[in-house]
Structures are given as structure tokens and as C-alpha cells.
Amino acid sequence: MLVSDRPSLLYIFSDQQRADTMACYGNSAIETPALNHLADRSFVFDNCYVSQPVCSPARATMLAGLYPHTARVPACNVPLPDDVPTIAELVDSSYERAYFGKWHLGDEIFAQHGFTHWVGSEDSYRRFYSSAERHETLSDYHHFLVDYGLRPDSTSLGQEIFSRHFEASLDEPLTKAAFLGDRAAQFIHDIGDAPFLACVSYLEPHPPHTGPFDDHYDPESLPVGPAFNRAPEASASLLTRVLAAYYQQSLEYGIDLRSDEGWRALRARYWGNVTLVDRSIGTILDAIEATGRAADTIVVFTSDHGEMAGDHGILGKTVLYEESVRVPLLVSIPGQNEGQTWVPGNVSHIDLVPTLLELLGAPRPAHLQGVSRAAVLAGRESLADNDVVVEWNGADGHPFPGEAEVNPALRAPWRSIVTADRYKLNLSTEDRSELFDLNDDPHELHNLYDDPAYRDRASDLTSRIEEWQRRFGDDVPLPAAPAGSSSR
């Protein structure tokens, strides 16, 4: 049991970090000592899935405990409505509630939704502010760089700002990640014994894929799997095939992605930014230890979505492959687990808010759509029978917005289910649906949807998605079960 009956919560999430970027998920080559140390005393969830593989919708789920379609955040740069409370609005008001870093849910750098201490880091979402008056305000990170003597290199809505490419060119002490780690650590030192809820949200390893550790990893020595720079087969969805075709002729971030060498160089930079985030997290965890708060602070680490990084010949997220939708999830509960505890089965980000509220001793509001997994952490239940559903709500973040108007498949919504026995069904009315056996085909190379031998399987999974839609008020049209199959 927790040492304190009023524990604090340190809720850390990176942006665009896939699961296989940590030792506990099988990557012994990447340097993440802080996360490794955290994992050594955490519950490590085997298969954690996001609610939607793009920033704003995923964050709405992570902070408010609702699916994107319910939270009314179906796409990036859609603000979280005022009447949708976050976890900071659902805990006791005596908690010191702080938010550090990227928000991406509207009015980016302004305190809101129950957080009373706010340190903003992003000036790239200014055009989405709720009023023109707010354009006069710049982020805390901007002022940090100016105070250091740096000059902005770009302009936005009448203000000089630092571009993300400029920020990514800085030495480690001036990076956004280091800044957020220092400010979060200072907050922990300053609040004394008060209970706190602190969210630390990193931009990295999100693009631009560059940073102070660009040369830290040898591209040629990086481990890659069978999907690396392999174009999707003809039976794959049109969405993924068009994306792969786009990147086969791309020069993204100054890197030639028409070859294995280019993709390896990009992946090495991506790993470098994961290491950058890890070093910042180490600063925060050191502050928890130094202030004596380790015995009463729950620490959670995850990411809003993953990154393809060259698998299936694709860069970014916005697709339903495992690299895009499966992310790390660590939960450290002092007094409940001393070593690393592996949690098999599937879990969804939809369960994070209800789980954290129960761990904090706060009541669970009826409107939340997830399930508390505190009993799983206590060893009284398991995830052995848990299916998870992932949404995709249309063209959002793709590199070819013009084509989305021409090709319906590029703006089509999808619904995906990953079952407890490790099958995945991706459904869309405007594209080729997909069925993967993740047991025998973990890299999702072979689409089984049209295979007569799997019609009953596809029918069963279709009915499960339809049941989920009825339960959670989702009215996205989806294809019927394959012809010739029996409905469950």
C-alpha cells in the first residue's frame, strides 16, 4: 500500500515515442538510464494503446478520460471544451496542480482546466488561440531563450518567435526538454510537503528530427526489423500505400528517405531525442528523491502516440500499425511494488484517468469512459480478456492535404480493435479494411481480411467494434462483416 493516504502524482508523457525505445520493451541499445531506473521499480504494461494516433485527440483521452469523439477533439488543434474536465479538475483542490510543456488542446500557453501553475513551451500553435489579445503573450520557454541572449528567427501573427528548427539546433542545456526538466524540478523543490499533481509534457522526440544528440548513435548499427523500409503489400490499405509512396521520394528534415541509409540516419536522430528526454526526466526524478517525496509520489510515464520511423516505409504517426498506436506505459507506486512488475495483456489510455483517480483516493465521476485498473496493479484482476479500440477520425497530419480532397481514402475515418488473443481488425468504409494476426505476424506484413479462412474472425471482430460503438455513442459508418461469414 502507499505510504501516504494523500499521494502526489508526477504524470510524464513524451510526444511520438514508440514502445520499443526502452530496455524494458526489448531495446538494449538505446540509452535511457532514467527510464530504465524508473521501469525497475514500476508496473510495466506489455501492450498499451493510444485512443487515436495523433496529438490533440490522444491528449484529450490522457487528461480527460474520454474517447476523442466524446471529448469533441477529433483532430489536432481542436481545443478541449471548457465543459470537459481534466484530471486536475477532478482531484481535491488542495493539490498543487502544475502543467509543464506542450498542451495542444487550445490556448497553448495559458493556465486552464484546473492547472494553476503553468509553464508553456510552444509558440507554434498561436493561430489557434481563442482571442487576438492572446497573441501578445509568448511562452515561458521563449523568454528563457531571450534572457539567455538569443534572437528569434521567425515571425508569427506580428510577434518574433523561435522556430522549432532553431530550438532543435541548440545545445542540451538550452533545449526545450532540459528547460522543462529544470522547471519541473524547481517546482518540486519549492512546494514543500504539499500534495501535488504535476504533468510534464515533452515535445521531443516529435519532429523536427534533430537535436543535440544527432551524432550519438551510429545509424548503421541500429537494430531494425523486417518491416523497416518495406513498402506495404498490395493488399494493405490505400492510406498506408500512399503514405509509403510519398516518403519513397521524400527529403524530410534534410534527409534522403529514398534509401535505407536515409531512414537509418533519421532513426538515429529520433533515438537521440529519446535520450534527450530521458536526461530531462532524470532531473525531475532526482528532485523527487532529493526532496524526500519518493515515498509518497506516484510516477507515470507514457507517450501520446508512436512513430513509424521508417517501418513500412512511413514516417510519423496517423496510421494504425503497432509502431504508431502502441506506446510505453510505466506506473510506479511506492510501497506497492519494489521491483519491476510486468503486466501482460492489453490496456488503453482511456483507463488512465480512472486508474489515477482511484490511486489518488479521488472519486470516479460517472462520465468517464475507461475502467480503473487499480485492481490489476494490486494483483486482484488481470487484463487477460481485455480488448482495446483505437479511433482515427480523418485526414489529420498527413503531408499531402491537397490529395485528401481528391482521394477519399486519405480522409476516411477508421476504427481498430486489438483483441485479447492478439488479432487486430482495422475497418473503414472508404478504404481496404485490414486484419492482422499479431501472434504470427507481429510486424503486420500480411493482411488477412479477404482470406476466406478468416471470415468468421473478421465477422467476430466487426461485431465487437459495433458493440463498442453502441456503448460509447460512436456513429462513424463502418463496413458490414465480410460476405459469407456468420455474425456473432
Range 50-54 average pLDDT: 97
Q: Is the pLDDT of residue 332 over 80?
A: yes
List of E strands, 361-419: 388-393, 413-418
In angstroms, the CA 115 to CA 3 distance is 25
Q: Please state the pTM of the whole predicted model.
A: 0.96
Residue 6 has pLDDT above 50, yes or no: yes
Q: Over the chain, what is the mean pLDDT?
A: 94
pLDDT tens digits for range 243-257: 898 888 888 888 889
* 400-440: pLDDT as tens digits: 555 655 567 678 899 999 999 999 999 999 999 999 999 99
Per-residue pLDDT, 397: 55
396 Cβ neighbours under 8 A, 6+ residues apart: 54, 75, 76, 318
CA distance 305 to 313: 18
Q: Report the pLDDT averaged over residues 339-359.
A: 97
Please, which residues have CB within 8 angstroms of residue 27's CB and are 6 or more apart in sequence? Answer: 20, 21, 223
The pLDDT tens digits of the residues spanning 121-167 come to 999 999 999 999 999 999 999 999 999 999 999 999 989 999 999 99
* Position 63 confidence tier, pLDDT thresholds 50, 70, 90: very high
Label residue 34 exposed, middle or buried (CB < 10 Å: 0-12, 13-18, 19+): buried
What is the rounded CA–CA span in Å between residue 368 and residue 353?
Answer: 8
Q: What is the predicted pLDDT for the residue at 230?
A: 95
Flag whether pLDDT at 475 surpasses 50: yes
Cell of 225: 526489423
For the stretch 171-213, pLDDT in tens is 999 999 999 999 999 999 999 999 999 999 999 999 999 999 9
Q: Is the preceding omega at residue 452 within 30 degrees of 0, hence cis?
A: no
* pLDDT tens column, 213-234: 999 999 999 999 999 999 999 9
- For the record, the C-alpha cell of 430 comes out as 472508404
What's the pLDDT band for 96 if we cut at 50, 70, 90?
very high
Find the mean pLDDT for residues 11-25: 98
Mean pLDDT throughout 373-394? 97
Q: What is the pLDDT of residue 485?
A: 55
Q: Please state the three-class secondary structure of 300-318 as a single string.
A: EEEECCCCCCCECCCCCCC
Q: For residue 227, report the phi and psi dihedrals to the nearest 5 degrees.
A: -90, -5
Question: What average pLDDT does range 442-457 have in this prediction?
Answer: 96
pLDDT at 404: 58
Quick one: CA torsion of 207, 332, 297, 107, rounded to 10 degrees? 30
* Residue 487: per-residue pLDDT: 44
Distance CA 190, CA 311 (A): 44
Q: Is the pLDDT of residue 488 over 50?
A: no
Phi, psi of 198 (to 5 degrees): -120, 125
Domains of the chain: 8-229+255-382 (3.40.720.10)
- What are 22-49's pLDDT values in tens digits? 999 999 999 999 999 999 999 999 999 9
The whole-number pLDDT of residue 95 equals 97
Q: What are phi and psi of 96, to 5 degrees?
A: -80, 120
pLDDT digits (tens, 9 = 90+) for 387-399: 999 999 987 655 5
pLDDT for the residue 123: 97
**What is the reported pLDDT for 247?**
87
Length of the chain: 488
